[in-house]
Each structure stands twice: as C-alpha cells, then as structure tokens.
A = this chain, B = another copy of it.
Amino acid sequence: MYTYSSKLLEEAVDEFALLPGIGKKTALRLVLHLLKQEDKNVEHFGHTILRMKEEIVSCKVCHNISDSEICHICSDPYRDKKTICVVESIRDVMSIENTQQYTGVYHVLGGIISPMDGIGPADLTLESLENKVKTGACKEVILALSTTMEGDTTNFYIYRRLHVYPVEISTLARGVAIGDDLEYADEVTLGRSLLNRTSFEETFKNSNHGT
C-alpha cells in the first residue's frame, strides 16, 4: 500500500499496526511522532516495553498483575481474605478498587466462558478458585462479572461448581444506576430493581450523600 523510504520504518509501522485498534495509517503517525522525539525519551519507551514484559508477573494467589509474586492487595494484612470478589479481568479489579468500597480480595478469571470465542471453563483460573473455597478459609464469593449472556453463563457455571462447599455466593446488585432517569432505564433492569427493592433506611445509610 505504502512505499516506505526505509526498511526499518516499515518494520516499525508493521509492529505498531499489530496493536488492537491501530491501523497502518495510525501506526505511521505514531512512528513518525516517535522519530521526532528526543533520543532518550524513545529509548525510555522501548526499555519500558521490554522491562514490562520481563518483570510484570501474575499474582500467584489472585492472578492479578503484580510487580512481585504476591500482589499488594493479597499481601495487605488489612484486607479481608475471607471475601473473594471474582472478576473477569485486571481492568475490573481497577474499576472496583476505584470505588474504595471493597475491602476483600480478588480472583481474576482471565476471561469469561464464551463458546463463540472458543473459551471454555478450562481456559479460566477456576481450579485455583475452587481450591481456595475447598479449604473452607473463604466465607463469601462475590460474582462480579458483566451482565451479559456470557457473564450470566459463567456466573451459573461457577455457582454450580462451588455451591457444594460451605460458602456464600452472591452477585452484584442490579438496578437503576445512580443519576439515571427512570424514563431511560430498560424494562429488565427496572423490573429487577422493583423486585429487589431495598429498605429506604438501608439505602440512606449506605449512600455517600453528604459524606
């Protein structure tokens, strides 16, 4: 498609174009941008990528990414190890951590069951989750997966596998989002939030208004 005046330029563009959501044109823009930067900045960029892959590891306990064998959440003595929140990916851990409402630990599945994409239970870290529950050291498993069909399937699969052990299994509350107009809430969500209505005092106690 393009005639590059440098073999190395072409190689660099091809490498960038392998990244998700980046086509040849964007890749070329990125490479030309890097070429205009100072040597030491580009060197730092290249070395960061190399170091990242070498040094970032997966936490042995929760499979979250970490700089050490056990991540800072799992090794935090103030976190409640008896409550495990099961999430699909590392990004979900970040989202939940951002709420500053959760004091338990996590378990990163590394995906959800999706036959369409060829992802079955064996591709996820389910065995390691079961092992944690088996020992009886865990009191509650919170399933915090997406509310999609794949998420529901995975929820159900995990429930079937874990309900034989003495552990409480819960899912995230579903309902109308805070700040949402009732008019624009979909029927399924609105219907569920009516069925699972909570006591006003409870809601008021948990709300962050004025704190």
Q: Which residues of A contact B (CB under 8 A)?
A: 2-9, 11-12, 15, 18-22, 26, 28-35, 39, 41-53, 55-56, 59, 64-67, 71-73, 89-91, 93-94, 97-98
- Cβ contact within 8 Å between A34 and B52: yes
B71 and A12 within 8 A (CB): no
Q: 10 closest A-B pairs (Cβ-Cβ)?
A: A46-B50, A46-B49, A42-B53, A3-B97, A12-B52, A6-B67, A15-B48, A46-B46, A15-B45, A12-B48
Task: Tell me whether A71 and B39 are in contact in the complex, defined as CB-CB below 8 angstroms, given that A19-B30, A49-B49 are known contacts.
Answer: no
A5, B43: Cβ atoms closer than 8 Å: no
Q: Hey, which chain B residues are within 8 Å of A56, CB to CB?
A: 6, 8-9, 35
Q: Interface majority SS on A: helix, strand, loop or mixed?
A: helix
Contacts of A66 in B (CB 8 A): 5-6
Complex Cα gap A42–B45 (Å):
13
Residues of B within 8 A of A4 (CB): 94
Distance between A4 CB and nearest chain B CB, rounded to angstroms? 7
Evaluate contact between B53 and A35: CB separation under 8 angstroms: yes
Complex Cα gap A190–B52 (Å): 55
Copy number in this complex? 2
A187 CA / B26 CA spacing, docked (Å): 32
**Contact A43–B53 (Cβ < 8 Å):** yes
Taking CB atoms, residues of chain B closer than 8 Å to A11 are: 48, 52
With contacts A20-B33, A30-B20, A56-B35 known, is A98 near B2, CB below 8 A?
yes
Q: Inside 8 A of A91's CB, which chain B residues have their CB?
A: 28, 32
Residues from chain B with Cβ under 8 Å of A6 in the complex: 56, 65-67, 71
Given contacts A7-B67, A71-B5, A94-B2, contact A15 B32 (CB under 8 A): no
Query: With contacts A5-B97, A28-B91 known, what are 13 further pairs, Cβ within 8 A?
Result: A4-B94, A5-B59, A6-B65, A8-B51, A9-B52, A15-B44, A15-B48, A19-B34, A21-B29, A32-B90, A34-B49, A34-B52, A43-B50
